[in-house]
Amino acid sequence: MSTDIRVRYAPSPTGHLHIGNARAALFNYLFARSHNGTFIIRVEDTDTKRNIEGGEESQLEYLKWLGIDWDESIDVGGDYGPYRQSERNDLYKKHYDDLLERGLAYKCYCTEEELEAEREGQIARSEMPRYSGKCRNLTDDERTALEAEGRKPSIRFAVPQNKTYTFNDIVKDDVSFESDGIGDFVIVKKDGIPTYNFAVAVDDHYMKISHVLRGDDHISNTPKQLMIYEAFGWDIPKFGHTTLIVNEDRKKLSKRDGAIIQFIEQYKDLGYQPDALFNFIALLGWSPKGEDELFSKEELIERFDADRLSKSPAVFDTKKLEWMNNQYMKNLDLDEVVALSTPHLEEAGKIPKDRTPEQDEWVRKLVGLYQEQMSYGAEIVALSELFFKDEIAYDEEASAVLAEEQVPEVMAELSRQLEALENFEAAEIKKAIKAVQKETGHKGKKLFMPIRVATTGQTHGPDLPSAIEVLGKEKVLARLSKLTD
């Protein structure tokens, strides 16, 4: 085997980029970059019935959004293409014809109904369902007769009997499978399209793949691929099967799990930072040395060590992701946060899409109030709700604050001070509040809490003078008037 590190991510265009697939791509990317190796994207599009329109483009688009780039693929070319399986049929045919000629594969004429009846019978007898091999030793006459009935054959690999297949896994150490538990498996379907386990082995060999990092759900495929490698006398790549991603209940992450957002494009649409998501996904089943959790892409490349891939399931902690994204959001330029937030305010009908420069400046100030606490762009809608209400419904805690004996005096003086302001800006509003303190003698919580509740309806929130500025003079005075009437 070549000493060059060559790894691949091989998506099927059957759907959009899922968090689990993104992790597989990211681990391979980090592994390649950390070893100055080659990262390849190969599109496995042979399952034509499940392919969706735009699936291929979507996979590549959101990998790029995450910050992943590649050295060889359908869009950048390379010396080992084509990089779509559907364009490699001549290569596959050459190899399955060779297996047929050497008796290592055979044509199977069983119908789906016959195979299902066989499976049901095995289950009823408490046997492990697997193909019985009934077509393995057909005579030429029997094959001719079956073809005369109009049956189209698939091609099955003849699994060696009484053999143990063992490989050393990067994550799981030594893994063994007994061949007798694996029935003769289909390598070419009745429509002439190769199956996954055959095509992937051929492709990995000819693309000189040195390491295969993929999810734990593929581990049962590995012995079948080892058989293909062995049949052709090929070198075997080093395998590493990463553990499952589970939810906080320690259950396997399912696409039907509504508690967790699972597709990368959804995170983009919600206004998450790609750098934060890259950072978070990298730590799903891998940990660097030390206690740090926030890393740039370059730092992750430098630190990545496949030997530190976890043997335990990776827990998808939504709160941790929100915290991590918040750390990135706080470090962004305010204009970038505004760009992430504005579409959500527009969609919610809070602001018009066509705005004046004055309206844009108001939006900028509004978003600036919440940059420190925002976890993602879409969160601005809920956070800023108070700025779009004409009426405030005071909850029990807020009502208790407004019932304090000093409140009427504070509100009356605040109204006088704010009414007199020519420039309704945070700096001037802060001076006005100081003047209220001086005139009434009330300070600290007795002063600031009633002002916050009266103007915003909340007992805590962003910088008070700035919040009052964004609310605007007319709205603030109207709210104070209702309390002093």
At 114, list the tokens.
């016959």
What are the beta bridge partners of residue 215?
242
Single out the catalytic residue among 94, 152, 252, 255: 255
What are the beta bridge partners of residue 43?
84
Residue 338, judged by CB atoms within 10 A of its CB (0-12, 13-18, 19+), counts as buried
* 41: helix, strand or coil: strand
Query: Would residue 443 show up in a list of annotated catalytic residues for this protein?
Result: no
Which residues contact residue 218 at a Cβ distance below 8 angstroms, ignoring those fewer than 6 apart? 241
At 472, list the tokens.
């605007």
Residue 23 near residue 285, CB atoms below 8 Å: yes
Q: Can you tell me the distance from the alpha carbon of 377 to that of 372, in angstroms, rounded to the nearest whole number?
A: 12
Q: Can you tell me the distance from the alpha carbon of 63 to that of 40, in angstroms, rounded to the nearest whole number?
A: 12
Q: Can you tell me the distance from the alpha carbon of 277 to that of 324, in angstroms, rounded to the nearest whole number?
A: 8
The verdict on whether omega for the bond into residue 82 sits within 30 degrees of 0, i.e. cis, is: yes
Which residues contact residue 325 at a Cβ distance below 8 angstroms, ignoring those fewer than 6 apart? 272, 273, 276, 277, 280, 375, 376
Q: How many whole angstroms from its chain centre is CA 64?
A: 13
E strands along 22-130, which residues?
38-41, 105-108
Length of the chain: 485
* Dihedral sign from CA coordinates of 467, 472, 475, 481: positive
Q: Can you tell me the distance from the alpha carbon of 228 to that of 104, in angstroms, rounded to the nearest whole number?
A: 10
Which residues contact residue 98 at a Cβ distance below 8 angstroms, ignoring those fewer than 6 apart? 232
Q: How many whole angstroms from its chain centre is CA 421?
A: 50
At 137, list the tokens.
């030793």
Q: Which residues are catalytic?
A: 255
